[in-house]
Structure 1
Amino acid sequence: MNIKQIRNATIIVEYAGKKFLIDPMLAEKGTYPPFPGSIKQDQYNPVVSLPTSVDEIISGIDAVIVTHLHLDHFDEAAQKLLPKDIKMFVQNKEEAKEVQNSGFQDVEVLTKDTVFEGIQLVKTKGEHGRGEELLKLMGEVCGVVFKHPSEKTLYVAGDTVWYEDVQKELDTHEPDVIVVNGGDNQFIEYGS
Protein backbone atom coordinates (compact mmCIF):
# COMPACT_ATOMS: atom_id res chain seq x y z
CA MET A 1 0.00 0.00 0.00
CA ASN A 2 1.17 3.47 -0.86
CA ILE A 3 -0.88 6.61 -0.25
CA LYS A 4 0.09 9.94 -1.77
CA GLN A 5 -1.78 13.12 -1.00
CA ILE A 6 -1.99 15.42 -4.01
CA ARG A 7 -3.99 18.24 -2.37
CA ASN A 8 -7.30 18.75 -0.56
CA ALA A 9 -9.05 15.36 -0.64
CA THR A 10 -7.25 14.27 -3.82
CA ILE A 11 -5.10 11.22 -3.13
CA ILE A 12 -3.53 8.38 -5.06
CA VAL A 13 -3.78 4.96 -3.46
CA GLU A 14 -1.66 2.10 -4.74
CA TYR A 15 -3.25 -1.04 -3.36
CA ALA A 16 -2.88 -4.73 -4.28
CA GLY A 17 -1.17 -3.84 -7.55
CA LYS A 18 -3.79 -1.29 -8.64
CA LYS A 19 -3.64 2.48 -8.66
CA PHE A 20 -6.69 4.51 -7.57
CA LEU A 21 -7.22 8.25 -7.91
CA ILE A 22 -9.64 9.43 -5.24
CA ASP A 23 -11.58 12.71 -5.39
CA PRO A 24 -9.68 14.38 -8.23
CA MET A 25 -9.49 18.18 -8.10
CA LEU A 26 -7.08 18.92 -10.95
CA ALA A 27 -7.54 22.60 -11.83
CA GLU A 28 -4.77 25.18 -11.57
CA LYS A 29 -4.44 27.04 -8.27
CA GLY A 30 -7.06 29.80 -7.91
CA THR A 31 -9.30 28.68 -10.79
CA TYR A 32 -12.58 28.70 -8.84
CA PRO A 33 -14.13 31.38 -6.60
CA PRO A 34 -14.40 30.90 -2.83
CA PHE A 35 -17.09 28.46 -1.73
CA PRO A 36 -20.32 30.41 -1.10
CA GLY A 37 -20.99 31.11 2.57
CA SER A 38 -17.61 29.83 3.74
CA ILE A 39 -15.46 31.83 6.14
CA LYS A 40 -12.58 31.83 3.63
CA GLN A 41 -14.01 34.35 1.16
CA ASP A 42 -10.53 35.66 0.33
CA GLN A 43 -9.25 32.30 -0.96
CA TYR A 44 -9.85 31.11 -4.50
CA ASN A 45 -9.83 27.36 -5.05
CA PRO A 46 -7.77 25.32 -5.20
CA VAL A 47 -5.67 27.18 -2.66
CA VAL A 48 -2.42 25.36 -3.53
CA SER A 49 -0.83 24.29 -6.80
CA LEU A 50 -0.60 20.68 -7.90
CA PRO A 51 2.72 19.18 -6.74
CA THR A 52 3.38 17.69 -10.18
CA SER A 53 1.89 17.65 -13.68
CA VAL A 54 -1.63 16.37 -14.32
CA ASP A 55 -0.13 13.85 -16.76
CA GLU A 56 2.02 12.41 -13.98
CA ILE A 57 -0.96 12.30 -11.59
CA ILE A 58 -3.26 10.42 -13.95
CA SER A 59 -0.59 8.19 -15.50
CA GLY A 60 -1.26 4.53 -14.80
CA ILE A 61 -4.51 5.10 -12.91
CA ASP A 62 -6.66 1.95 -12.95
CA ALA A 63 -9.79 3.48 -11.41
CA VAL A 64 -11.19 6.70 -9.96
CA ILE A 65 -13.31 6.90 -6.80
CA VAL A 66 -15.44 10.00 -6.27
CA THR A 67 -16.87 10.16 -2.75
CA HIS A 68 -19.27 12.95 -3.74
CA LEU A 69 -19.61 15.51 -6.51
CA HIS A 70 -18.57 18.72 -4.75
CA LEU A 71 -16.12 20.82 -6.74
CA ASP A 72 -13.23 20.04 -4.39
CA HIS A 73 -13.71 16.31 -5.04
CA PHE A 74 -14.47 16.17 -8.76
CA ASP A 75 -13.91 19.43 -10.58
CA GLU A 76 -14.38 20.54 -14.18
CA ALA A 77 -10.68 20.04 -14.90
CA ALA A 78 -10.86 16.39 -13.78
CA GLN A 79 -13.95 15.90 -15.92
CA LYS A 80 -12.05 17.18 -18.96
CA LEU A 81 -8.64 15.60 -18.30
CA LEU A 82 -9.47 12.06 -17.20
CA PRO A 83 -9.88 9.44 -19.95
CA LYS A 84 -13.58 8.88 -20.63
CA ASP A 85 -13.15 5.09 -20.60
CA ILE A 86 -11.54 4.92 -17.14
CA LYS A 87 -13.37 2.95 -14.44
CA MET A 88 -15.28 5.36 -12.18
CA PHE A 89 -16.84 4.54 -8.80
CA VAL A 90 -19.44 6.88 -7.27
CA GLN A 91 -21.71 6.79 -4.22
CA ASN A 92 -25.22 6.58 -5.72
CA LYS A 93 -27.30 6.29 -8.90
CA GLU A 94 -27.93 10.05 -9.14
CA GLU A 95 -24.23 10.82 -9.13
CA ALA A 96 -23.55 7.95 -11.55
CA LYS A 97 -25.93 9.59 -14.01
CA GLU A 98 -24.19 12.98 -13.61
CA VAL A 99 -20.77 11.41 -14.17
CA GLN A 100 -22.08 9.56 -17.23
CA ASN A 101 -23.51 12.85 -18.52
CA SER A 102 -19.93 14.19 -18.33
CA GLY A 103 -18.97 11.54 -20.88
CA PHE A 104 -17.60 8.77 -18.67
CA GLN A 105 -18.54 5.34 -19.98
CA ASP A 106 -17.65 2.90 -17.19
CA VAL A 107 -19.38 4.18 -14.07
CA GLU A 108 -20.34 1.95 -11.14
CA VAL A 109 -22.12 2.70 -7.87
CA LEU A 110 -20.16 1.60 -4.81
CA THR A 111 -21.92 -0.86 -2.49
CA LYS A 112 -20.86 -2.94 0.49
CA ASP A 113 -19.94 -5.74 -1.95
CA THR A 114 -18.10 -3.98 -4.79
CA VAL A 115 -15.08 -5.87 -6.14
CA PHE A 116 -12.55 -4.40 -8.55
CA GLU A 117 -9.72 -6.58 -9.84
CA GLY A 118 -9.89 -8.75 -6.71
CA ILE A 119 -10.00 -5.77 -4.33
CA GLN A 120 -13.09 -5.40 -2.17
CA LEU A 121 -14.32 -1.80 -2.03
CA VAL A 122 -16.87 -1.20 0.71
CA LYS A 123 -18.96 1.98 0.62
CA THR A 124 -19.14 3.55 4.08
CA LYS A 125 -21.44 6.13 5.61
CA GLY A 126 -20.57 9.73 6.32
CA GLU A 127 -22.15 13.02 7.33
CA HIS A 128 -20.87 16.22 5.79
CA GLY A 129 -21.36 18.49 8.81
CA ARG A 130 -23.68 18.82 11.76
CA GLY A 131 -27.30 19.86 11.91
CA GLU A 132 -30.24 19.05 9.67
CA GLU A 133 -30.05 22.24 7.56
CA LEU A 134 -26.34 21.92 6.85
CA LEU A 135 -26.63 18.20 6.05
CA LYS A 136 -29.43 18.95 3.61
CA LEU A 137 -27.33 21.69 1.97
CA MET A 138 -24.16 19.58 1.76
CA GLY A 139 -25.84 16.39 0.54
CA GLU A 140 -24.76 12.78 0.74
CA VAL A 141 -21.14 11.73 1.15
CA CYS A 142 -19.40 8.41 1.49
CA GLY A 143 -16.10 6.85 2.32
CA VAL A 144 -14.59 3.57 1.17
CA VAL A 145 -12.81 0.64 2.79
CA PHE A 146 -10.22 -1.28 0.74
CA LYS A 147 -9.70 -4.98 1.51
CA HIS A 148 -7.39 -7.56 -0.07
CA PRO A 149 -5.61 -10.62 1.40
CA SER A 150 -2.17 -9.23 0.52
CA GLU A 151 -2.76 -5.78 2.04
CA LYS A 152 -3.66 -4.09 5.29
CA THR A 153 -7.25 -2.85 5.47
CA LEU A 154 -7.54 0.81 4.46
CA TYR A 155 -10.41 3.15 5.36
CA VAL A 156 -10.68 6.42 3.46
CA ALA A 157 -13.29 8.22 5.56
CA GLY A 158 -14.17 10.94 3.05
CA ASP A 159 -15.71 14.25 4.10
CA THR A 160 -17.36 13.29 7.35
CA VAL A 161 -17.60 14.55 10.87
CA TRP A 162 -17.21 12.13 13.75
CA TYR A 163 -20.52 10.47 14.64
CA GLU A 164 -21.74 7.02 15.69
CA ASP A 165 -21.81 5.53 12.17
CA VAL A 166 -18.11 6.30 11.73
CA GLN A 167 -17.45 4.35 14.93
CA LYS A 168 -19.58 1.49 13.55
CA GLU A 169 -17.48 1.45 10.36
CA LEU A 170 -14.32 1.26 12.48
CA ASP A 171 -15.76 -1.54 14.62
CA THR A 172 -16.97 -3.48 11.56
CA HIS A 173 -13.88 -3.22 9.35
CA GLU A 174 -11.08 -2.76 11.92
CA PRO A 175 -8.88 -0.83 9.47
CA ASP A 176 -5.12 -0.83 9.86
CA VAL A 177 -4.80 2.53 8.11
CA ILE A 178 -7.27 5.44 8.13
CA VAL A 179 -7.25 8.50 5.86
CA VAL A 180 -9.36 11.45 7.02
CA ASN A 181 -10.07 14.68 5.14
CA GLY A 182 -9.48 17.35 7.77
CA GLY A 183 -9.78 20.78 6.20
CA ASP A 184 -11.99 22.51 8.81
CA ASN A 185 -14.03 24.43 6.24
CA GLN A 186 -16.74 26.39 8.03
CA PHE A 187 -19.90 28.13 6.87
CA ILE A 188 -20.87 31.50 8.31
CA GLU A 189 -24.61 30.84 8.54
CA TYR A 190 -24.23 27.41 10.17
CA GLY A 191 -21.25 27.99 12.44
CA SER A 192 -19.60 24.76 11.27
Structure 2
Amino acid sequence: MQLTQLRNATLIIEAGPHRVLVDPMLAPAGAIPPLKYATARRRRNPLVGLPEGTDVRLRTVTHCLITHCRKGHFDHLDRAGARWLRESRTPVYCMEDDAGFLRGKGLLVQPLQADATQPFLGGRVTPVPCLHGRGLVGRMMAHGYGYHIEWPGEPSLYLAGDTLLTDTVRGHLREHRPAVTVVPAGGARFDLGGDIIMGREAALQVARLSNGLVVANHLEALDHCPVTRAELREARDRAGLEQRLLVPEDGATLDFGRS
Protein backbone atom coordinates (compact mmCIF):
# COMPACT_ATOMS: atom_id res chain seq x y z
CA MET A 1 0.00 0.00 0.00
CA GLN A 2 1.17 3.49 -0.83
CA LEU A 3 -0.10 6.89 0.30
CA THR A 4 0.67 10.02 -1.70
CA GLN A 5 0.11 13.26 0.21
CA LEU A 6 -1.16 15.91 -2.20
CA ARG A 7 -2.23 18.84 0.00
CA ASN A 8 -4.11 19.33 3.28
CA ALA A 9 -6.41 16.27 3.65
CA THR A 10 -6.19 15.36 -0.04
CA LEU A 11 -4.27 12.17 -0.69
CA ILE A 12 -4.24 9.12 -2.94
CA ILE A 13 -4.29 5.56 -1.57
CA GLU A 14 -2.79 2.91 -3.84
CA ALA A 15 -3.71 -0.68 -2.98
CA GLY A 16 -3.68 -3.42 -5.60
CA PRO A 17 -5.60 -2.17 -8.65
CA HIS A 18 -7.28 0.63 -6.72
CA ARG A 19 -6.27 4.30 -6.61
CA VAL A 20 -8.54 6.07 -4.13
CA LEU A 21 -8.57 9.88 -4.05
CA VAL A 22 -9.50 11.18 -0.59
CA ASP A 23 -11.18 14.55 0.03
CA PRO A 24 -10.18 16.39 -3.16
CA MET A 25 -9.43 20.09 -2.71
CA LEU A 26 -8.01 20.86 -6.16
CA ALA A 27 -8.29 24.65 -6.46
CA PRO A 28 -5.16 26.67 -7.26
CA ALA A 29 -3.46 28.63 -4.51
CA GLY A 30 -5.40 31.69 -3.35
CA ALA A 31 -8.66 30.79 -5.11
CA ILE A 32 -10.75 30.61 -1.90
CA PRO A 33 -11.38 33.33 0.75
CA PRO A 34 -9.70 33.33 4.17
CA LEU A 35 -11.06 31.35 7.12
CA LYS A 36 -9.62 33.78 9.68
CA TYR A 37 -10.42 37.49 9.66
CA ALA A 38 -9.28 38.73 13.09
CA THR A 39 -5.67 38.93 11.99
CA ALA A 40 -3.37 41.63 10.73
CA ARG A 41 -2.50 39.56 7.67
CA ARG A 42 -5.36 37.84 5.93
CA ARG A 43 -4.39 35.03 3.59
CA ARG A 44 -6.52 33.42 0.90
CA ASN A 45 -6.74 29.66 0.63
CA PRO A 46 -5.24 27.30 -0.27
CA LEU A 47 -1.95 28.79 0.91
CA VAL A 48 0.03 26.61 -1.50
CA GLY A 49 -0.56 25.08 -4.90
CA LEU A 50 -0.83 21.40 -5.67
CA PRO A 51 2.51 19.60 -5.98
CA GLU A 52 4.14 19.01 -9.32
CA GLY A 53 2.84 15.89 -11.02
CA THR A 54 -0.65 16.04 -9.49
CA ASP A 55 -2.35 15.95 -12.91
CA VAL A 56 -0.50 12.75 -13.80
CA ARG A 57 -1.41 11.15 -10.47
CA LEU A 58 -5.06 12.12 -10.83
CA ARG A 59 -5.25 10.30 -14.16
CA THR A 60 -4.60 7.03 -12.29
CA VAL A 61 -7.48 7.50 -9.82
CA THR A 62 -10.19 4.82 -9.89
CA HIS A 63 -12.42 5.91 -6.98
CA CYS A 64 -12.94 8.76 -4.51
CA LEU A 65 -13.67 8.70 -0.77
CA ILE A 66 -15.19 11.69 1.06
CA THR A 67 -15.05 12.08 4.85
CA HIS A 68 -17.36 15.13 4.98
CA CYS A 69 -18.30 17.93 2.61
CA ARG A 70 -21.40 19.90 3.70
CA LYS A 71 -21.62 23.21 5.62
CA GLY A 72 -18.87 24.85 3.59
CA HIS A 73 -16.09 22.32 4.07
CA PHE A 74 -14.36 23.26 0.84
CA ASP A 75 -11.06 21.87 2.16
CA HIS A 76 -12.46 18.35 1.67
CA LEU A 77 -14.38 18.95 -1.54
CA ASP A 78 -14.08 22.26 -3.34
CA ARG A 79 -15.60 23.32 -6.66
CA ALA A 80 -12.53 22.25 -8.58
CA GLY A 81 -12.61 18.84 -6.91
CA ALA A 82 -16.31 18.35 -7.62
CA ARG A 83 -15.81 19.42 -11.24
CA TRP A 84 -12.94 16.95 -11.66
CA LEU A 85 -15.01 14.10 -10.19
CA ARG A 86 -18.00 14.98 -12.37
CA GLU A 87 -16.00 15.25 -15.59
CA SER A 88 -13.94 12.12 -14.92
CA ARG A 89 -17.03 10.14 -13.90
CA THR A 90 -15.17 8.82 -10.89
CA PRO A 91 -17.32 6.78 -8.44
CA VAL A 92 -17.54 8.58 -5.09
CA TYR A 93 -17.94 6.77 -1.77
CA CYS A 94 -19.40 8.85 1.04
CA MET A 95 -21.66 8.57 4.08
CA GLU A 96 -25.41 8.39 3.55
CA ASP A 97 -25.89 11.86 5.05
CA ASP A 98 -23.74 13.38 2.29
CA ALA A 99 -25.16 11.33 -0.60
CA GLY A 100 -27.96 13.71 -1.61
CA PHE A 101 -25.67 16.74 -1.45
CA LEU A 102 -23.13 15.04 -3.74
CA ARG A 103 -25.75 13.73 -6.15
CA GLY A 104 -26.90 17.33 -6.50
CA LYS A 105 -23.44 18.11 -7.86
CA GLY A 106 -23.86 15.45 -10.54
CA LEU A 107 -21.49 12.93 -8.96
CA LEU A 108 -21.66 9.13 -9.13
CA VAL A 109 -22.40 8.43 -5.48
CA GLN A 110 -22.02 5.14 -3.63
CA PRO A 111 -23.20 5.71 -0.03
CA LEU A 112 -21.78 3.93 3.00
CA GLN A 113 -23.75 3.06 6.12
CA ALA A 114 -22.86 4.31 9.58
CA ASP A 115 -22.17 1.82 12.39
CA ALA A 116 -21.47 -1.06 9.99
CA THR A 117 -18.49 -2.85 8.49
CA GLN A 118 -19.27 -3.26 4.80
CA PRO A 119 -17.67 -4.32 1.50
CA PHE A 120 -15.29 -1.81 -0.08
CA LEU A 121 -13.32 -2.37 -3.29
CA GLY A 122 -12.51 -6.01 -2.62
CA GLY A 123 -11.99 -5.43 1.08
CA ARG A 124 -14.06 -3.85 3.81
CA VAL A 125 -14.53 -0.45 5.43
CA THR A 126 -15.79 0.63 8.84
CA PRO A 127 -16.86 4.28 9.35
CA VAL A 128 -15.67 5.86 12.61
CA PRO A 129 -17.47 9.01 13.88
CA CYS A 130 -15.53 12.28 14.10
CA LEU A 131 -15.88 15.20 16.51
CA HIS A 132 -15.04 18.28 14.46
CA GLY A 133 -15.06 20.79 17.33
CA ARG A 134 -16.93 21.32 20.59
CA GLY A 135 -19.35 23.92 21.94
CA LEU A 136 -20.93 26.53 19.70
CA VAL A 137 -18.39 26.01 16.92
CA GLY A 138 -18.94 22.26 17.08
CA ARG A 139 -22.67 22.71 16.64
CA MET A 140 -22.03 24.61 13.41
CA MET A 141 -19.77 21.96 11.86
CA ALA A 142 -20.38 18.91 9.69
CA HIS A 143 -18.60 16.32 11.82
CA GLY A 144 -18.29 13.54 9.28
CA TYR A 145 -16.58 10.19 9.62
CA GLY A 146 -13.19 8.62 9.41
CA TYR A 147 -12.70 5.24 7.75
CA HIS A 148 -10.94 2.05 8.79
CA ILE A 149 -10.07 0.19 5.57
CA GLU A 150 -8.89 -3.40 5.29
CA TRP A 151 -7.74 -4.99 2.03
CA PRO A 152 -6.46 -8.58 1.77
CA GLY A 153 -2.69 -8.64 1.87
CA GLU A 154 -2.40 -4.89 2.66
CA PRO A 155 -1.70 -3.05 5.93
CA SER A 156 -4.89 -1.88 7.63
CA LEU A 157 -5.51 1.85 7.27
CA TYR A 158 -7.40 4.24 9.53
CA LEU A 159 -8.16 7.64 8.00
CA ALA A 160 -9.20 9.54 11.11
CA GLY A 161 -10.92 12.40 9.22
CA ASP A 162 -11.37 15.86 10.68
CA THR A 163 -11.62 15.09 14.37
CA LEU A 164 -10.34 15.94 17.79
CA LEU A 165 -8.70 13.15 19.79
CA THR A 166 -11.81 11.66 21.39
CA ASP A 167 -12.55 8.54 23.40
CA THR A 168 -14.00 7.07 20.19
CA VAL A 169 -10.71 7.59 18.36
CA ARG A 170 -8.68 6.26 21.30
CA GLY A 171 -10.92 3.22 21.58
CA HIS A 172 -10.65 2.51 17.87
CA LEU A 173 -6.85 2.63 18.00
CA ARG A 174 -6.73 0.26 20.97
CA GLU A 175 -9.31 -2.20 19.70
CA HIS A 176 -8.54 -2.34 15.97
CA ARG A 177 -4.79 -1.61 16.04
CA PRO A 178 -4.49 -0.16 12.52
CA ALA A 179 -1.12 -0.62 10.86
CA VAL A 180 -1.28 2.94 9.45
CA THR A 181 -3.27 5.86 10.86
CA VAL A 182 -3.64 9.24 9.12
CA VAL A 183 -4.52 12.13 11.44
CA PRO A 184 -5.17 15.86 10.94
CA ALA A 185 -2.47 17.67 12.91
CA GLY A 186 -2.88 21.33 11.91
CA GLY A 187 -4.63 22.50 15.09
CA ALA A 188 -7.27 24.34 13.03
CA ARG A 189 -9.37 26.98 14.76
CA PHE A 190 -11.46 29.95 13.73
CA ASP A 191 -11.39 33.46 15.22
CA LEU A 192 -13.65 32.25 18.05
CA GLY A 193 -13.74 28.92 19.83
CA GLY A 194 -11.22 26.15 20.35
CA ASP A 195 -9.47 23.68 18.09
CA ILE A 196 -11.65 21.81 15.60
CA ILE A 197 -9.10 19.10 14.70
CA MET A 198 -6.07 17.57 16.35
CA GLY A 199 -2.94 19.62 16.76
CA ARG A 200 0.67 18.92 17.67
CA GLU A 201 0.11 17.37 21.10
CA ALA A 202 -2.83 15.25 19.97
CA ALA A 203 -0.79 13.87 17.06
CA LEU A 204 1.95 12.89 19.52
CA GLN A 205 -0.63 11.19 21.72
CA VAL A 206 -1.93 9.19 18.76
CA ALA A 207 1.63 8.10 17.95
CA ARG A 208 2.04 6.88 21.54
CA LEU A 209 -1.32 5.09 21.52
CA SER A 210 -0.99 3.50 18.12
CA ASN A 211 0.37 0.04 17.50
CA GLY A 212 1.45 1.07 14.00
CA LEU A 213 2.68 4.08 12.06
CA VAL A 214 0.97 7.48 12.16
CA VAL A 215 0.92 9.97 9.27
CA ALA A 216 0.19 13.64 9.95
CA ASN A 217 -1.48 15.85 7.36
CA HIS A 218 -3.74 18.93 7.23
CA LEU A 219 -0.56 21.02 7.51
CA GLU A 220 0.55 24.34 5.97
CA ALA A 221 -2.28 24.57 3.44
CA LEU A 222 -5.02 26.60 5.17
CA ASP A 223 -4.88 29.90 7.03
CA HIS A 224 -6.61 28.56 10.15
CA CYS A 225 -4.12 25.69 10.69
CA PRO A 226 -1.17 27.16 12.65
CA VAL A 227 0.90 24.00 13.21
CA THR A 228 3.90 23.73 10.90
CA ARG A 229 5.72 20.63 9.76
CA ALA A 230 8.95 21.91 11.30
CA GLU A 231 7.48 22.35 14.79
CA LEU A 232 5.66 19.02 14.62
CA ARG A 233 8.84 17.20 13.60
CA GLU A 234 10.80 18.96 16.34
CA ALA A 235 8.22 17.97 18.98
CA ARG A 236 8.14 14.42 17.59
CA ASP A 237 11.91 14.07 17.78
CA ARG A 238 12.03 15.45 21.34
CA ALA A 239 9.43 12.85 22.32
CA GLY A 240 11.44 10.03 20.72
CA LEU A 241 8.68 9.26 18.22
CA GLU A 242 10.60 9.82 14.99
CA GLN A 243 10.09 6.18 13.98
CA ARG A 244 6.34 6.28 14.70
CA LEU A 245 5.08 9.65 13.43
CA LEU A 246 5.60 10.54 9.76
CA VAL A 247 5.19 14.12 8.53
CA PRO A 248 5.32 14.02 4.71
CA GLU A 249 5.76 16.99 2.43
CA ASP A 250 3.12 17.66 -0.22
CA GLY A 251 3.82 15.38 -3.18
CA ALA A 252 5.60 12.73 -1.09
CA THR A 253 4.68 9.04 -1.46
CA LEU A 254 4.94 6.71 1.54
CA ASP A 255 5.32 2.99 0.83
CA PHE A 256 4.02 0.65 3.54
CA GLY A 257 4.54 -2.58 1.63
CA ARG A 258 2.21 -5.55 2.06
CA SER A 259 1.04 -7.13 5.29
TM-score (norm 1): 0.90
Is residue 2:179 matched to residue 1:170?
no
CA distance in 1, matches of 2:29, 2:109: 29
Is residue 2:132 matched to residue 1:128?
yes
Question: What's the RMSD between the two structures over aligned residues?
Answer: 2.0
- Alignment map for 1:68-79 (pairs within 5 Å): 68-69=68-69, 70-79=73-82
More relative contact order, 1 or 2 (CA 8 Å, 6+ apart) = 2
Report SS of the residue matched to 1:180.
strand
CA distance in 2, matches of 1:150, 1:183: 32
Q: Please tell me the residue identity of whatever aligns with 1:118.
A: G
Is residue 2:59 matched to residue 1:59?
yes
Deviations 1:51-100 (A, max 9, x none): 0355323212121111011100000001111246321111233x110100
- Alignment map for 1:65-144 (pairs within 5 Å): 65-69=65-69, 70-82=73-85, 83=87, 85-93=89-97, 95-111=98-114, 112-129=116-133, 131-144=134-147
What is the match of residue 7 of structure 2?
7
Contact 1:125-1:165 within 8 A present in 2 as well: yes
CA distance in 1, matches of 2:119, 2:149: 10
The alpha carbon displacement at 1:132 in A equals: 2.6
Contact 1:37-1:189 within 8 A present in 2 as well: no
Contact 1:100-1:107 within 8 A present in 2 as well: no
Q: Please tell me the residue identity of whatever aligns with 2:6.
A: I
In 2 relative to 1, CA 184–147 (structure 1 residues): closer, same or farther, beyond 3 Å? same
Aligned residues: 190
Contact 1:157-1:178 within 8 A present in 2 as well: yes
In 2 relative to 1, CA 108–41 (structure 1 residues): closer, same or farther, beyond 3 Å? farther
Higher mean displacement: 61-70 or 38-47: 38-47
TM-score (norm 2): 0.68
Unaligned segments of structure 1, at least 5 residues = none
What is the match of residue 193 of structure 2?
190
Unaligned segments of structure 2, at least 5 residues = 196-259
Report SS of the residue matched to 1:55.
helix
In 2 relative to 1, CA 136–176 (structure 1 residues): closer, same or farther, beyond 3 Å? same
In 2 relative to 1, CA 21–148 (structure 1 residues): closer, same or farther, beyond 3 Å? same
What is the match of residue 31 of structure 1?
31
Contact 2:94-2:109 within 8 A present in 1 as well: no
